[in-house]
């Protein structure tokens, strides 16, 4: 009986070791699947993005990278009115692991920039903000992704409208998404249908905004992106920011790329006629 007890104990111990090994192997496998991370101490951190894949070389060698700091002192003022038109369209919300994203499936409207029409495709959040104004970083930043496909070359041109948020009253648009986002905490690639979503409810259109040419802020860091960063700071609650951080993977709880060099780029500030900075 004693020998049987010892044997049973050894078998249980062996099984335990085996399952612990499988768990560790699985954890390592998940870890290896991350293409990039935000922790600067990681070998997949922001300063290493350009070394991970040759297609991501712009993350390291590009001269028009984003985000950057924005300020009034070195900007050029313009007052041209740009056409914006948005409409409700079917949309889904998705946990992409490194951020929470909304995707519109259909015509959600567009913005006209320098004679080129860019159609609204998606939106996602970064916390804390990626762009800064006068060196100040905010609690949250929303990116509204717009695309234009050149009919002759087939190449995509990108324009992004960014909105910065400080802690304050809850954001009404985010409030409508709280239940769906809560249901996808730590569940990468989980998607929920939202039905028809009106982009105008985000209230990201203002009369004062910064404009410059930069890049995507995630790999492959493609350059030539037209950035429009709203000057007016909106509000978001601590709870909403916390949820956006909890929903994504641990490595992306602070999913903001560090500031990049301005490199003598021109920054424009759009002001209505007769308005001051």
pLDDT in tens, 161-219: 999 999 999 999 999 999 999 999 988 788 999 999 999 999 887 889 999 999 999 99
Cα–Cα distance for residue pair 32/251, rounded to 1 Å? 13
Give the torsion through C-alpha atoms of 18, 24, 25, 26, to 10 deg. 110
Cα–Cα distance for residue pair 55/61, rounded to 1 Å? 11
Question: How does the average pLDDT of the chain come out, rounded?
Answer: 86
Determine the pLDDT at residue 79.
79
Determine the pLDDT at residue 253.
84
On the question of pLDDT at 249 being above 90, the answer is: no
- Residues forming a β-bridge with 235: 166
Determine the pLDDT at residue 28.
32
- Section 236-252 average pLDDT: 91
Determine the pLDDT at residue 149.
83
- Section 75-80 average pLDDT: 83
Could you read off the pLDDT of 176-192 as tens digits, one per residue? 999 999 999 988 788 99
Cα–Cα distance for residue pair 140/128, rounded to 1 Å? 5
- The sign one gets for the Cα dihedral 8, 14, 20, 23 is negative
Q: How far is CA 107 from CA 89, 103, 104, 115, in A?
A: 6, 11, 8, 19
Out of 23, 98, 105, 146, pick the active-site residue.
98
On the question of pLDDT at 2 being above 70, the answer is: no
Give the model's confidence band at 64: pLDDT under 50 very low, under 70 low, under 90 confident, else very high.
Answer: very high
CA-only gyration radius of the chain, Å: 23
- Residue 124 annotated to the active site: no
Determine the pLDDT at residue 6.
46
């Amino acid at each position: 009986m004693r020998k049987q007890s010892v044997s049973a104990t050894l078998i249980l111990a062996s099984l335990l070791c085996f399952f612990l090994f499988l768990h560790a192997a699985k954890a390592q496998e998940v870890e290896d699947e991350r293409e990039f991370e935000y922790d600067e101490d990681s070998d997949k951190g922001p300063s290493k993005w350009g070394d991970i894949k040759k297609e991501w070389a712009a993350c390291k060698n590009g001269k028009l990278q984003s985000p950057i700091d924005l300020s009034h002192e070195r900007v050029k003022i313009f007052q041209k009115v740009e056409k914006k038109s948005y409409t409700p369209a079917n949309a889904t919300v998705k946990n992409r692991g490194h951020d929470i994203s909304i995707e519109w499936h259909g015509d959600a409207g567009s913005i006209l920039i320098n004679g080129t029409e860019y159609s609204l495709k998606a939106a996602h959040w970064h916390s804390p903000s990626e762009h800064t104004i006068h060196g100040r970083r905010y609690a949250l930043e929303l990116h509204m992704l717009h695309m234009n496909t050149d009919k002759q070359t087939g190449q995509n041109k990108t324009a992004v409208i960014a909105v910065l948020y400080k802690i304050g009253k809850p954001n009404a648009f985010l409030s409508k998404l709280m239940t769906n986002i809560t249901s996808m905490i730590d569940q990468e690639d989980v998607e929920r249908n939202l039905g028809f979503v009106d982009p105008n409810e985000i209230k990201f259109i203002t009369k004062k905004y910064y404009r410059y040419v930069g890049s995507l802020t995630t790999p492959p860091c493609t350059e030539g992106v037209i950035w429009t960063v709203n000057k007016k700071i909106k509000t978001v609650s601590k709870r909403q920011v916390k949820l956006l951080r909890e929903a994504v993977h641990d490595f992306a709880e602070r999913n903001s790329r560090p500031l990049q060099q301005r490199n003598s780029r021109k920054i424009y500030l759009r002001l209505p006629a007769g308005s001051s900075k």
